[in-house]
Structure 1
């Protein structure tokens, strides 16, 4: 199984009246191409309201393109994914994002279960475009999650969504010493998991997953020159997200567990809490990989 390849929602081409809605139980269709996946939702309908997390506190803001996804495709800071974009409107969104100084747009979730009448723009992640590979039809786009944001205003519906976003950052920790200690523990656990993963023998069709180590490497780098400083999480916050990645050999049930942990990580505003959960999650992954290694040695 190739993990980390996702697709963009196909929004309706009909005109909107400042509104967007989803069916209560949409059924996505995937089509794979060169490792990327494209996702469509049939039978979109318009509604009278587009809901979003809003804030009344004055905060720095950016106006950016918005790309919606289903709930099980949430993207967290530090994570890398590959998108296959091929519709004209999404390629136009990509062109705008690439032409900006920082090559950014917003990845967010439309959750039809968040409200009885309208979907909620939630789990929003500011992303940076790391690489683009042109294809005969569309392009494969490698993106990196940078930080959480809230959508506070929609300013455009056609040909793609654009909105005003503000940063969402963790609370300032009161016990920095304890947090530093736990971060070291998390980094050691991730290194141990990586050491186990590289010992796994996997089929040629299954790529050995090293996403956790990749995320940690990015999180440890300085990103002070990226965007407005107000949008950049602290290094501790960035590292706290790096644990919640899939690894080789995970079952569908285990992948669902990864998804639940990612949602919890996005909702938390405490770095220490997220780091502690990350340590527990990585250690559980180590047990899974160790068990698979033991079976391979038989």
Structure 2
């Protein structure tokens, strides 16, 4: 069995990221949809985190960089391996339907090193909204609630579990300017939803009835999880600032990659107003894109 080490590392954008160093030969099987990762005999040898005021001990589920999850976003997973079904049971029975979705982001240590290395970053506390049991495994619908930092690895078998602390926006802003931008963002998101409803695409019926942008807007405006530690739940303005970055039906590969870049930038920012500006511009771009497709569709009929 391969061995490895784990340390906490700092970067300009990812506060208290976990750095995982794995020796060659450590497998990384695609063990659940969309992707999975296996870690073996990792030890914690350094920590930059003092005892936080608010922390949670939760299961951790790793993904690749292209599958970062942001607060307000909904995602469906197909879990079927025994270890991930055990993680699901732990989350449902003892962790108030929560766990942490995070990214294992490859980094290069040095040219001479033959070890694969990863940062555990872009942690997102998720709430399990629904579970559908299948003949093999289960379909699990999750909703991103807030960003978190993973500050301690508790255990690895049969799944990862660690201590996380909240990562919330901390920049001052003018209330009047913030309220103006929130109102502007809401209007643009509702306009995008209406346009998507008009667009006749070969998409599942439920996607046409409830667009991603509408679903995230509803959650951002009404999210109340009484069972959750409220220190982890972002304020309304922060929740809405993330809700804008949602996929649109019929996105091309390049448009989807652009969305991934926007999501990473949103996760890196600690400024609510800055993220609102970015969200408004992104939704406006999507409005223009969908409007153009509607015009093409009308010409074809």
TM-score w.r.t. structure 1 length? 0.84
| Pair 1:58 & 2:57 matched | no
| Pair 1:69 & 2:63 matched | yes
Count of residue pairs the alignment pairs up: 278
SS of the residue aligned with 1:190? helix
CA distance in structure 2 between the aligned counterparts of 1:243 and 1:216, rounded to whole angstroms? 8
Alpha-carbon distance, 1:222 to partner: 4.4
Any unmatched runs of 5+ in structure 2? 7-19
TM-score w.r.t. structure 2 length? 0.83
Q: Partner of 2:35 in structure 1?
A: 39
SS of the residue aligned with 2:228? coil
Q: Structure 1 residues 95, 45: CA separation in 2 closer, same or farther (over 3 Å shift)? A: closer
The root-mean-square deviation of aligned C-alpha atoms, in Å, is 3.0
Alpha-carbon distance, 1:121 to partner: 0.6
Instruction: Indicate which of 102, 106, 113 corresponds to 2:100.
Output: 106
Alpha-carbon distance, 1:105 to partner: 0.3
Listed as ranges, the matches of 1:186-197 within 5 Å are: 186-197=185-196
SS of the residue aligned with 1:72? helix
CA distance in structure 2 between the aligned counterparts of 1:142 and 1:212, rounded to whole angstroms? 16
Deviation digits for residues 165-224 of structure 1 (CA, Å, limit 9, x no counterpart): 000000143311111110000000001101110001112568437101100100001426
CA distance in structure 2 between the aligned counterparts of 1:57 and 1:115, rounded to whole angstroms? 29
Listed as ranges, the matches of 1:265-284 within 5 Å are: 265-284=266-285
Q: Partner of 1:82 in structure 2?
A: 76
Cα contact 2:126–2:143 (8 A) shared by 1: yes
CA distance in structure 1 between the aligned counterparts of 2:262 and 2:47, rounded to whole angstroms? 21
Q: Partner of 2:16 in structure 1?
A: none
Q: Structure 1 residues 97, 115: CA separation in 2 closer, same or farther (over 3 Å shift)? A: farther
CA distance in structure 1 between the aligned counterparts of 2:108 and 2:73, rounded to whole angstroms? 24
Alpha-carbon distance, 1:82 to partner: 0.1
| Pair 1:155 & 2:154 matched | yes
Q: Structure 1 residues 225, 45: CA separation in 2 closer, same or farther (over 3 Å shift)? A: closer
Alpha-carbon distance, 1:288 to partner: 0.6
SS of the residue aligned with 2:279? helix
CA distance in structure 2 between the aligned counterparts of 1:282 and 1:178, rounded to whole angstroms? 19
Q: Structure 1 residues 202, 98: CA separation in 2 closer, same or farther (over 3 Å shift)? A: same
Alpha-carbon distance, 1:37 to partner: 3.7
CA distance in structure 2 between the aligned counterparts of 1:114 and 1:124, rounded to whole angstroms? 20
| Pair 1:202 & 2:175 matched | no
Listed as ranges, the matches of 1:142-291 within 5 Å are: 142-203=141-202, 207-208=207-208, 210-223=211-224, 225-291=226-292
Q: Structure 1 residues 211, 101: CA separation in 2 closer, same or farther (over 3 Å shift)? A: same
Listed as ranges, the matches of 1:108-147 within 5 Å are: 108-113=102-107, 115=109, 118-147=117-146
CA distance in structure 2 between the aligned counterparts of 1:53 and 1:263, rounded to whole angstroms? 25
